[in-house]
Each structure stands twice: as structure tokens, then as C-alpha cells.
Chains A and B, each alone.
Chain A
Amino acid sequence: MTLFLTALFAGLAVGSVYGLIALSYTVVFSSTSIFNIAQGDLMMAGVLMSYFCLDRWHLPQIVTLLAVIVFVVALSLLEERVAVRPFLKRPGLGGLGWFIATLAFSLIIETAAADIYGQNPVAAIPGPFSGTVSIAGVRVADNFILAFAAMIVVMIALELFYKRSWLGTAMRGVAEDREVASLRGIDALRISRLAFIIAGLVTALAAFVVAPIVSANVSVGLTYGLKGFIALAAGGFGSLRGCVLGGLLLGIGEQMFDLYVNSNYEILAGLILILLILAVKPTGIFGTRAVREV
């Protein structure tokens, strides 16, 4: 039972990482119809920044948080400018061109991060808290709880933003019909930039809270990116709650796979989950419409 609970809490923590990435995908996708595969590497760039601030430069946590936010949002905006906007301006520009562009951007960040980090062994990154709490007889790291709480807070904040604010409604409207949106005076390009700023904020926050969980392992950005996608696909495209649920499902699923099947083949858990979801309910648990057109 203790083993089970330990795995469960670890799963919640790792699942929060996937869920946060899935949330940032959704922010971008819901107003640009673009799936930004670089999201995982953007997060790892933030984690790397955390590592430099805390481990190398010994800056305080709050300064680190600010530095990560500035850095990730800047990268996110850069990506929007060079890899996304050209495709929004010329919608006829061949099929999945944007996919290739964001994948290329992801490759650039990942290689650059690996070069900057160098051959150093993967270092642990201290979190804002260092203690543990006891839940049902199991010691759970504060940082696990922080990651989970951050995901829930981000989800609620985004939900309120989309439902209650004019801007949020406009951002969803753009995705549904670019032409109609522009007729109503909504500038699709400005909305796209805004989406990348918000996604950058989510990613930066994610990077800061998950840094102690994922460590300075800079070569795994694409892996996290792909797992975030699985979380998204499992939960249902376009649904914020789906992101959270899908993330937790994958995170806990992986930990249970480790515990009851074989921890060597953990990566299969994700593959099995996505194949099952696609076979049984392609729209995901909370999804209502299939994402066909690209």
C-alpha cells in the first residue's frame, strides 16, 4: 500500500508536468490552430534557466522565477515571430508547414541547451521548498504538491480567462473562424502573439515548479513535448480539464506501469495509452470534436 501511494503521488507530480505542457499546447492551439511541438523544449529551456540561476549563480527563488518568466516568454515570442507567423499570414502555405517549422525550432533549442549545459552530469535543481509532508503515511515532497497545485491553479485561471473576459472569448473566436473574427475587428496576428505570451507564461511557471522534479536533463525536451501531446490527446483536444486529466492519467499510468509491470519499459505506458485512446475514443475523454483539418 505504501508503495502504491508513493507511486500514486509521484504519478501526480510527473502528471502535473505533462498536464502543464498540455495546457500550454491548448492555449496556442485554441487561437491559432497550430500545435506547437516546441512547447516541451521551451519548458526545458526554462528548467535550464532555473538551474543556472539557482545552482550556478545562487540567486534567490523569486528572482529565478522572474528570470525564467522573462526568458521563456521571450523565447516563445521569438518562436511565434520566426516559426509561426509566416504560416498565419499565408494560410495557403502547404499543409503542415507550421509543424515542420515548430519542430525545427524545437531542435534548435534542444541542441543549444545541450551545448550550453555541456557534458556535466544531470544536476538536481533545488525547489522553492525543501520539506516533505506526510499524507496517509507516505512522505510527499513539497515540490510535488507545488507542481500539482500549480497545474490546477493554471487550469482554473485559464478557464476563467476564456469564459469571463472579452479577450479570452476573442481568442477562442479567432480559432473558430479567422475571417469572421477579423470582420469584428479582432486582429488574428495580435491574438496569436498574445497566445504565445500566455503559453510562455504557463510554460515558464511550469518550468519553475517542475525543475526539482525533472532535474537539469536538457536533452529530454522533445520527450516531454510528446508526452504532453499524449496527455492532450487522451484528455481531449480543446478541453482544459482534459489536459489536467490526461496529464494525470499518463503520469500515474507510468508510475503504475513501473510498479506492476516493468520500470525498464516505462515509455511503453505512453504508447499503449495513446494507441488505446485512439482506438476507443479518438476525440479523447473530454473531447467532442475530432481535430481533422490542419
Chain B
Amino acid sequence: MVARLGLNNRSSARWAVPVALIIVLYLLPQLFGGGQFRVGEYEEVLSFLIIAVALNIAMGYGGQYILGITAVFAVGAYAAVLAAKYHPQDVGLVAMCVVAAIAGAVSGLIIGLPALRVGGFYLALVSLFAAMAIPAVATQWNFVGADTGIPLYAVLGFAPKINGESLYVIVVTLVLLATLFSWALVHSRIGHRFVALETSEQLASSIGISAYRTKLVAILISSTMAGAAGGLYVYSQQFFAPGSSSVNLAILLLAGLVIGGTGTIIGPLIGAALILGINQFFTSFQNYNGIVFGVILLLFAVFLPDGLMARIEVLSERLGIRPAPGDGPAAARTGAARAGAAPAGATQAAPAPDGGGRSLDSRSVEAAIAALPPWPPIIGAADDSPLIIEGAGRRFGGVTALADLDLTVERGTVHGLIGSNGSGKTTLLNLISGFYSLDAGQIRIGANRIDTAPAHAVARAGIARTFQAPKLMLRETAVENVIPAVELRVRCLGAESLLRLPRGIAANRRAREESLEVLESLGLHKILGQTASTLPHGTRRMVELARAIALRPSFLLLDEPAAGLSHAELELLTAVIRHLAECGVGILLIEHNVPMVLSVASQVTALHQGNLLFRGTPDELRADTSVASAFLGIDEPLEASS
């Protein structure tokens, strides 16, 4: 397995930089002067780095812009201060961090929960406002020491057991543990869901991921961590005042993340250490820091949205320290591809030397078709009822996209859906998927209504789909794009996957193996480890198809799967559709390639401007003139013209 994934390609030089950084971090007091005051300042910055790691989890991976996370940090810190003030004899570092973490989680929920209902920049703004409001309120509140805060060194009976060098070592270790945690999280099924959600809410729910729950988890985890950072801050600084956490801190942290590279593990640490270090230790031009940081942040946001880490990774690839993407799945999240990921991969999608480009020729297609493994439905396979659409109608403003449509997809058959652009085909798919709500009618599997269910529940009922414009996680490799779909049915708790408990390890491994198998069955063995952004359009479609198959659905909705495919890929696709139907999957196929539809479908529905134009077998369609005249403006049977 290791050899297959190319893990042995990793060069040891890759670890040199992080290891050196860790050593420097531990020896900071020895290298740059200790002194109690100075070490205290180091510890202050280090506590802030934990907030940066927390923010990166929510924002860099989960796409949740909880910028005002310093509000959560402040609440955690105040909780720790109060705990120490009222129970000076009983609380130590652990107790203070736990209290702070709980307070942080609660406040994170309050700040985050309503914003989840709207999403996007609402969360950014509401949380920033909270980051401004909480210190402002504290300034006026005597209970928490108002303006001056509560100095713990003045609290009788509070004597921290850990101090001096050992405290410094513990603080550094906690920062490293937080980083390690974020790595483990990102490479667990929880992290996979985050990235799917960050890519597209529709993509996430199409593979059964609840967007709402995932957002909630992202915010909970990061605010727990930021709250705990507050506890650590208070323990090491023996003090907390409104000025300790301002909106400025939030903006500096954001700048650190963007500069270091959001969505990388150590980028945010490096970026935040740079920014906060400059802010803390170069005080002579502090007045102008805002301008300098603002300009840097602006430049990065516009010109280097992937941050420094992406540059470093590109550089290290050039120097041969890292394998280039395409060498193997081990190159999962590496540089060149990542640098190209942002602009939709369109400009830099040059195929890698080895695995890139079209991966299929006619010989390998025949071999692949012959070797297709059985893919009987697993999700929703308990009963064998058909997918029934009854009287479905949907309007957008004054436009009727779909009117009073009846349609049934039997299991084990292919139902072709054709029609010109705007005839309502994709609308129907989005209605079934739960992305749109019905104005009239209902959609059921047997007797179970699914039109009232949220989108992720539709996927969990056994309905998979592909998209007209493939939705892939562009920064991830092909296999990583398929894994979250398998994880829907390979059950284990998120925590088990995160903490690498036995069941979690087994599930993680099984998800990866099954994903590799599906991809290989579709003839994609050459691009397993290639970053999605570097894949040509047709291959992206095939990866998306693999993801849908990997869900092992009872029904599969395909939205123009043949568009942009090469001849060989089209041949394979057609065979795969037939094969899936033989395995018992009910398929609804939208396609403009009418001959292809007629060759696989047992029933064909033609839509025209939201209305049913024709329903029948392919042979009946071939003989019918109404469809041809509606599509092509000619009065001959379709077969003659196509």
C-alpha cells in the first residue's frame, strides 16, 4: 500500500524546516534574550498563535469566516480570570484552560449560531462586532475589573505552580499540540467534510454532508480552542484587561493567516508569528503598523491569495525537496497545483509530465469495461421502490421552470431526460436533490417523501448526483475527492477518525481503499494522486462520477455527464451507466447526446419549456416527429437528423 501511494517518495529534507523551527521556538529565550518580562511577551504571542490555529481550522478549512474569534478568546480569558479570582487555591493551568474552553465554546456558539443562518460574510461581520463589543463592555464592568482588568498576581492565595522556563516550555508545547491537532483534524473525516463544505455547500450536501452541522462543528472546535488559548494567556500573563484583546488583534491574526497561507497547517503559524512578532517587538514605528500591515494584507489578498506557504512549496519543489504533484498520491496537497488552485485551475492546468492529460485509450477502455466490479446499491437499498416524481412544479419569479411533471425512475433502469436548454431538466435534478423546494407536487422513494427533506438527507436516502459543471475540491487530489463520499457509509464517529482510534483507523483506511478502487475501475489509475485543479475537464467529470458511484447509491442523477468527454471516455461512461443499471441502480440521465441516451435508456422523457413533450421508449422516440421539431425546428423523426 505504501509503495502504491508513493509514500516513500518523501524526502527527509521536507522535515528539516519544521524541525528547525520547532527547535528555534523552544530555544527562543536562549537565542534572543530571556528575562522574565521578555519571556512573558513570548508567551503572550504564543497564546495568540493558538488563536491563529483555531481561526485557520474554521476559516482556512471550513470556510467559516469567524474573524472576530478574539471575542471568544476574551470570553475564555475572563472566565479563567474569574475562576482564579474566586477559587485561587484550587485552579491551576488545566482547570483554567478547561473553564476557558467551555466559556469559549458557549460564546462561539452564540456569536456563530445566528450567523450560520445566513452565512458568508455575515459571520465575519457579526463576529467582528462581537470582538469590538466584548472588550468595550468589559471596560465598564467592575465585576471583571473594568478598564484595568484583574491582576492575578495581586489575588491572595493564587500561586501558579508552573513558572519560569518550565512554563515557557509548556506554552510552546501546547502551541505545537494545537498545530498537531489541526493536522489530525484536517486529515480526518471531520476535516474532509470541512473542505467539502468550503468548496461548495451543494457539493457537500450531494454526498450527504449536513452543511449546517459541519459549520457548527467547525465553529465549535475553533472557539473551544480559542477559548482555551484565553486560559493559557491568563495563566502565563497573570492578567487580563479589555486592551488584551481588541479588534486590532483580530485583524492582525487575519493578516497572519492570509500572509502565511490559509488552509495550510503551518502557514498560519509562520504568518501570525511574523505579524504579531513585528507588532510586539518593533514598537518604534507602531503608529504606522496599521498602514504597513494593511498594505501587506491587501497585496497578499490580491496577488498571493494562497500565502507564503504556497510559494515555499513551489520553491522546494524546484529545489527537488518535495515530489511534484502527479508523482503519486503522497503529493496530495503540494505547491504547484495549489498555486494554480485559486483561479479555478483554468490558467495553470498544465498536465503533469507523468499522469496528466487524457488517461484513457481505446484498449484500456475495453479492459476497464471488462473489469468493472459489481456496484449494487448500499444506501437506500433496504426497499426496492422506484423514485417517483408527481405533479412537480417550480416557478422562478414569473418564469415557470417546470410545470406539473410526472416521472418515475425504476431501479435497475436508465431514464433518459432530454430537452433544449432552459427546458427544466437541471431544475428537476435540483428539485430531487433538495436544492430547490417544490411549488407543487411531491417527490418520493416509494411512499417516503424526500421533497421535504434537506439536501443532505436526500443523499442519505440513496440519491447521488453529478453536476453540469463538475464540482470538485480543486486543491485536493482525485482520491481525496472521492473519500468523503465513501465515508458517508463507512460508519465511524468523527472523533474516532480524528483521534485515530482503532475503528477510526480502519474506517480511514477503508475509505481510501474503496475510493482508489472506484477510481481505478474507471480507468483513472494514473491520476489518483493528482490535484484536481490540474485535471482536464473530461477527467474531472470522471472523478465526479467516481465520487457519485462511491456513495453506492440506489439512484444516480447524471447532469450532462458526456459533455467534454473524449471518445474513449464516452465509451467507458456509456458502459458504466449500463453496468450500474444492471447492478440495480436507477439512473436519471440528462444528456444532449441523444444517440447516447437512446442507446442506454429504457424510457425517455423530453421536456420543452418546463412541460412534458414526449414520453416513451427510445424506439417510439425515434419515430416521433414532435421532439425533433421542438429541438431542431425540422419535421423529420429524430433518428434521421442525428
Contacts and interface: CB of A to CB of B under 8 A. Distances in A.
Interface stretch (B43-51, B120-128, B265-273, B493-501): B120-128
A92 B343 CA distance: 5
A105 interface: yes
Contacts of A92: 342-344, 346
Interface string A178-193: 0000000000000000
Contacts of B291: 107-108, 111-112, 115
Contact of B298 (A94, A108, A268, A294): A108
B251 A274 contact: no
Nearest to A108: B294
A101 B254 CA distance: 11
Contact of B294 (A97, A111, A114): A111
B342 A94 contact: yes
Interface string B58-69: 000001010000
Given A96-B65, A104-B294, A293-B120, A278 B137 contact: no
Nearest to A92: B344
B114 interface: yes
Contacts, number: 141
Contacts of B141: 264-265
Contacts of A115: 287-288, 291
B380 interface: no
Majority-rule SS of A interface residues: helix
Interface size class of chain B, counting residues whose CB lies under 8 Å from the partner chain: 35 or more
Contacts of A101: 297-298, 301-302
Contacts of A131: none
A291 interface: yes
B117 A271 contact: no
Nearest to A293: B120
B140 interface: yes
A79 B236 CA distance: 41
A110 B298 CA distance: 14
B612 to A, nearest CB: 28
Contacts of A95: 63, 198
Nearest to B126: A274
Contacts of B247: 222
Given A99-B65, A108-B294, A282-B117, A94 B305 contact: yes
Interface string A241-275: 00000000000000000000000110110110011
Interface size class of chain A, counting residues whose CB lies under 8 Å from the partner chain: 35 or more
B258 interface: yes
B253 interface: no
Contact of B120 (A83, A93, A226, A291): A291
A210 interface: no
Contact of A278 (B65, B118, B293, B295): B118
A82 interface: yes
Contacts of B63: 95
A222 B124 CA distance: 13
Contact of B121 (A264, A271, A274, A294): A294
A82 B302 contact: yes
A164 to B, nearest CB: 21
A292 interface: yes
Contacts of B198: 95
Given A107-B294, A108-B291, A265-B137, A96 B120 contact: yes
A229 interface: yes
Nearest to B135: A267
Given A105-B294, A291-B120, A293-B120, A83 B132 contact: no
Nearest to B344: A92
A93 B115 CA distance: 24
A37 interface: yes
Given A96-B124, A104-B297, A265-B140, A275 B110 contact: yes
Nearest to A99: B121
Interface in B116-166: 117-122, 124-126, 128-130, 132-133, 136-137, 140-141
A37 B125 contact: yes
Interface in B243-279: 247, 251, 254-255, 258
Given A226-B129, A265-B137, 19 more contacts: A97-B302, A99-B65, A99-B124, A100-B258, A105-B294, A106-B294, A107-B251, A107-B294, A108-B290, A111-B289, A111-B291, A115-B291, A233-B122, A265-B140, A271-B133, A274-B114, A278-B117, A290-B118, A294-B121
22 contacts: A37-B125, A82-B302, A90-B343, A92-B346, A93-B342, A93-B343, A99-B65, A100-B258, A103-B297, A107-B251, A114-B287, A226-B125, A230-B129, A267-B136, A268-B137, A270-B133, A274-B126, A278-B115, A278-B118, A279-B117, A290-B117, A291-B122
Interface of A: 35, 37, 82-83, 86-87, 90, 92-101, 103-108, 110-112, 114-115, 222-223, 226-227, 229-230, 233, 264-265, 267-268, 270-271, 274-275, 278-279, 282, 290-294
